[in-house]
Amino acid sequence: MACVQQQSGRKSTNKRKIIETFEFDVEKETTSTSAIASAFKRRAISKSISVKRASTPTTQKALIVVRKGEYELIDHHAFPTLRNEEEVVIRNLATGLNPIDWKTVDYNFCLPAFPWVTGREMAGVVEKVGSQVTTCKPGDRVWTSTYYRDSRAGCFQEFVTVPQHTVLPIPSNMGHESAACLGVAALTSAMTLWKWLCVPEPSTTPPRPCLSGADGYLLVWGGSSVTGQYTIQLAKASHFSVIAVCSEKTKDLIYSLGANHVITRDNRSNQDILDCIRSICGDRTTRAVDLVGTDTAPFCMAALSKTTPSHFVPLAMMKAGEAVPPNVTVHNVEMKRFVLDKESRSYAESLNKLLEAGKLKEPRLEVLHGGLGRVREGLEMVKKGDLMGKKFVVSMAAQSMKSGEEAYA
Ligand SMILES: NC(=O)c1ccc[n+]([C@@H]2O[C@H](COP(=O)([O-])OP(=O)(O)OC[C@H]3O[C@@H](n4cnc5c(N)ncnc54)[C@H](OP(=O)(O)O)[C@@H]3O)[C@@H](O)[C@H]2O)c1
């Protein structure tokens, strides 16, 4: 069977026009998350939102994990208290769903105690800040990426509490539902490439190619996964040549993101796919990111150069004791570094700049409206797979606005 080969010259653009200023003012009454989210949708998007509140709530809604494999949706979870003056409480408008969310609960890991709140990424409006917070203020539209060890940072609750360096402004051309999906796939791709794989960050002037098409390739196995889509685009933005593996039905999407070559996986064994990669790239693949799992990790390493120092990131795990060729370095990407190292904020800021400049195409969203009660259903769909490149996000708004009211859709 012939290997699929095609060069794509397409540049991704994001030309959505968003009205810049809008102030949402809710008098006297405590404002519901749904009302704020709907107001954004009805009117426009701004950098901040002003919300007058009668009082700070003492309880909140939360989807808590009560034991392995079991959730409960409650409305009397404690409103968070700040543990230090650099913390920020964000009112949740939308939260992205990820494979790690259902795996954590089904297999009982990354759950320090019961009950616990999970969920790794969200966007919303700053509700409250500690006295040392300088990067944002109440009313700002923000997104964040969180660390599972703090239950207050779990995103499947109404108010999410995180350190200030992890709180980023939502790019002005993005809605909160899209921004809610930046904290895992997009940020992981950025940190994988820029921190662990030492790919130079693209700047406003084109960066000096460190590996051009003539020198080396970056392989993305699982190119149509949401993380794969960002990885392909970020690698292209840094002038890498990219070869990706996905199914026939998502091939066009992957070319549209700039991949130079796409190998379709339908009716092909991993060995066949490996042979295709090597027939196209020869011995010039020097970076590989696997987004599929333990079965594909060894094939990714086998696709790498046998002679040049090369790098592999098994983002979807690799078997303990798997043989690693002597010229290959395996990098263990730890996204907790974003939360534990304040300087990691710079990766999110660079990502924001690319998004603001319209240089990254977001994955197609599948929005589940209606709040935290939809999370379980969304996670079941993520678990089933076959997502066609879509990203699932739960909006706290009760429902989608009518066509024409979604300024940013
Ligand atoms: N360590 C970290 O911090 C980190 C961060 C992000 C993600 N991850 C991990 O990375 C993986 C991907 O996450 P995601 O959220 O980006 O995934 P996702 O969007 O849920 O990706 C699912 C897609 O993967 C593709 N796929 C499945 N089997 C494949 C195969 N054998 N070969 C090629 N593609 C295949 C399918 O698309 P097609 O049918 O179109 O091929 C499927 O729709 C997960 O295991 C996740 O846990 C880890």
Instruction: Determine the pLDDT at residue 34.
Output: 58
- Is any atom of ligand 1 closer than 6 Å to the C-beta of 188? yes
User: Is the confidence at residue 364, as pLDDT, over 60?
Assistant: yes
Residue of 18 and 47 predicted with greater confidence = 47
What confidence tier does 355 reach under pLDDT thresholds 50, 70, 90? very high
Kindly report the protein residue whose alpha carbon is nearest to atom 22 of ligand 1. 225
- Is any atom of ligand 1 closer than 6 Å to the C-beta of 227? yes
Kindly report the protein residue whose alpha carbon is nearest to atom 12 of ligand 1. 291
User: Is the confidence at residue 262, as pLDDT, over 60?
Assistant: yes
> C-alpha angle with apex 372: 369 to 374, nearest 5 degrees?
55
Instruction: Determine the pLDDT at residue 291.
Output: 98
What confidence tier does 29 reach under pLDDT thresholds 50, 70, 90? very low
Domains along the chain with CATH numbers:
33-181+362-395 (3.90.180.10), 186-334 (3.40.50.720)
- CA 333 to ligand 1 center in whole angstroms: 15
- CA 226 to ligand 1 center in whole angstroms: 7
Predicted structure pTM score: 0.88
Atom in ligand 1 nearest the alpha carbon of residue 295: 31
- CA 17 to ligand 1 center in whole angstroms: 31
Share of the chain above pLDDT 90, in %: 77
Kindly report the protein residue whose alpha carbon is nearest to atom 39 of ligand 1. 247
Kindly report the protein residue whose alpha carbon is nearest to atom 18 of ligand 1. 225
Nearest CA among 153, 123, 19 for reference residue 367: 123
Mean pLDDT computed over 190-204: 87
Instruction: Determine the pLDDT at residue 202.
Output: 85
Q: What is the pLDDT of the chain when averaged over all its residues?
A: 87
Task: Tell me the C-alpha to C-alpha distance, in Å, between residue 373 and each of 138, 161, 180.
Answer: 26, 20, 17
Contact indicator for 259, 289 with CB cutoff of 8 Å: no
Kindly report the protein residue whose alpha carbon is nearest to atom 6 of ligand 1. 185
- Is any atom of ligand 1 closer than 6 Å to the C-beta of 96? no
- Is any atom of ligand 1 closer than 6 Å to the C-beta of 291? yes
Return the minimum-mean-pLDDT range out of 11-15, 88-92, 262-266, 285-289. Answer: 11-15
User: Is the confidence at residue 10, as pLDDT, over 50?
Assistant: no
